[in-house]
Amino acid sequence: MPWKETSVLDQRLQLIATFLSQELSMADLCREFGISRKTGYKLIDRYQALGPDGLLDVSRAPHTHPNATSVAVEQRIIALRANHPTWGPRKLRAALLRTAPETRRPAASTIGQILRRNGLATPRRRRTPRTLTMPTTPIRADSPNAVWCADFKGHFPTGNGGRCHPFTITDAYSRMLLRCQALSHADKHAVKPICIAAFREYGLPAVMRTDNGPPFSSIALGGLSQLAIWWIKLGIRPERIQPGHPEQNGSHERMHRTLKEEATIPPQANISLQQKAFDRFRNEYNNLRPHEAIGQQTPASMYVRSPREYPLRTPEVQYPEHILVRHVRHNGYIRWHGDTLFVSEALVGEPVGLDRLDDRHFALYFGPIPLAILDGHTNGWLSRKAAASKLLSLREEGSI
């Protein structure tokens, strides 16, 4: 005959049944079930108050906690979230520190729990991490104005059926949003005045980082566009990310995601009202919104104006004495040893430089930017692959 198995609840029910039968004294009853009289009285009291449910195990977790977030702080967090629906726990915590430094600030994880408990947080889909490869090393933004990032946020229709192309410029070091302009067209004629206004207000950067699309780049030699040529003449070095790798301009792309969430959904009735929405967003982004990448500071607190002033007249490109200078003719060609070589129509009227690499090859420059390598024996430009191989071999030889 198998052994009978009894649970703790069954034994407690038996104890109550025996107690109600009044067959044993309380001392004998507790001795029979192997418990103290204190425990016996407690079980009987719970049974009389709650019935059989009183015999179930009760959680021993404390009803209150000395480090629990106060109701006032929780309400302040909820109010901050209502004013800034896209801010996460870390940004809310930094804002709480700035606006109410005397308040005891909960951890970011606690703020996340408060948001979830009040239905103010939506879990995001986890993304599988991937390894990013960057064959070229971008210029490091180790100070304000070392690198500015420029790009167009994807266009969208306004309420009246027009099209809005947001053009943005940020400082990579401080995350300062220098310009956020609603444009009706995405071309150099629309972009150049915005750049001029930014240069006059903030000075000149050392590098301008963009993607490979127009008006920043072209299919001409070296990928130069008229906008990039203008930047070079101002002493700004264009830096283009690899095609299909927006993560190389990650901080700017992340700003675009926030811009979309907070200033374009829903779009405004017309481009003028959309610009007002962008201006409100830019003020909040620069002066109120904490940024994790800069230690939860605001961009405005980290940014310093560039000491390089925008000149009254665009300077011409200068070359060292050993460089052979040729001017690009009206048809995009240069003269070379009695022959003509096509360079680029974008460089019409501009001087380009040819620097001898060895007894056969010359490097073509516009200002400090190398564009191509010329084979002096065939008077033709090397392919990109051949030019890269030639430069690598010259570096290994110590020639350059």
For residue 157, give every residue at least 6 positions away whose Cβ sits within 8 Å of its Cβ, in sequence order, or none: 163, 164, 267
pLDDT at 129 over 60: no
**DSSP for 342-393?**
E--GGGTT-EEEEEE-SSSEEEEEETTEEEEEEETTTTEEPPHHHHHHHHHH
Helix (H) or strand (E) holding 282: helix 271-287
Q: Decide: residue 189, CB within 10 A, 0-12 exposed, 13-18 middle, 19+ buried.
A: exposed
Are the beta carbons of 361 and 375 closer than 8 angstroms? yes
Residue of higher predicted confidence among 78 and 180? 180
Question: Is the pLDDT confidence value at 13 over 50?
Answer: yes
pLDDT of 64 reads 61
* pLDDT average, residue stretch 102-116: 79
Round to whole Å and give the CA distance between 30 and 36: 6
For residue 343, the cross-strand partners are none
- Position 6 scores a pLDDT of 62
Residue 279 identity: D
pLDDT digits 0-9 by tens, 18-56: 788 777 788 888 888 888 888 888 888 888 887 777 777
Question: Residue 133: what pLDDT?
Answer: 30
* Region 238-247 average pLDDT: 83
8 Å CB contact between 378 and 386: no
Report the chain's mean pLDDT, rounded to a whole number. 84
CA dist 263 and 265 (Å) reads 6
pTM over 0.75: no
pLDDT at 63: 63
The fold of the 147-302 domain, in CATH, is: Nucleotidyltransferase; domain 5 (3.30.420)
Model confidence at 269, in pLDDT bands (50, 70, 90)?
very high
- Angle subtended at Cα 263 by Cα 296 and Cα 291, rounded to the nearest 5 degrees: 5
Largest CA distance in the chain: 126
Backbone angles phi, psi at 61, to 5 degrees: -65, 140
Tokens representing 44 are: 């009987």
125: pLDDT strictly greater than 60: no
- pLDDT over 60 (residue 127): no
Q: Residues, the chain, total?
A: 400
Paired strand residues for 372: 364
Given a cut of 60, whether residue 399 has pLDDT beyond it is: no
If one compares 92 and 127, the residue with the highest pLDDT of the two is 92
CA distance 235 to 360: 30
What is the average pLDDT across 312-323? 93
**pLDDT the model gives residue 105:** 72
What pLDDT digit, counting tens, does each position of 324-354 carry? 999 999 988 999 888 888 888 889 999 999 9
pLDDT at 179: 96
54 vs 150, residue with greater confidence = 150
Partners of 364 in beta bridges: 354, 372
- pLDDT recorded at residue 11: 81
Rounded to an integer, what distance in angstroms lies between the CA atom of residue 217 and that of residue 200?
A: 23
Residue 65 is predicted with a pLDDT of 64
Return d(Cα 174, Cα 170) in angstroms, integer: 8
With cut-offs at 50, 70 and 90, classify the pLDDT of residue 136.
Answer: very low
To 10 degrees, the CA torsion angle through 107, 113, 119, 121? 60
In this prediction, residue 138 carries a pLDDT of 67
In the predicted structure, residue 5 carries a pLDDT above the cut 60: no
CB atoms within 10 A of CB 183: 20
**Those residues with Cβ within 8 angstroms of residue 165's Cβ, 6 or more apart along the chain or in another chain:** 152, 153, 155, 182, 183, 184, 185, 186, 190
The predicted pLDDT at position 154 comes to 85
What kind and span of H or E run contains 13?
Answer: helix 8-21
Closest to 94 (Cα-Cα) out of 85, 103, 278? 103
Q: Where are the alpha helices (DSSP H) in 60-171?
A: 71-83, 89-99, 108-117
> Is the Cβ–Cβ distance between 270 and 158 less than 8 Å?
yes
Phi/psi of residue 146, nearest 5 degrees? -70, -40
Enter the DSSP assignment of 268: P
What are the sequence ranges of the domains in the chain?
Answer: 8-55, 147-302, 324-397
What is the token pair recorded at 337? 């040893």
Rounded mean pLDDT, 186-204: 94
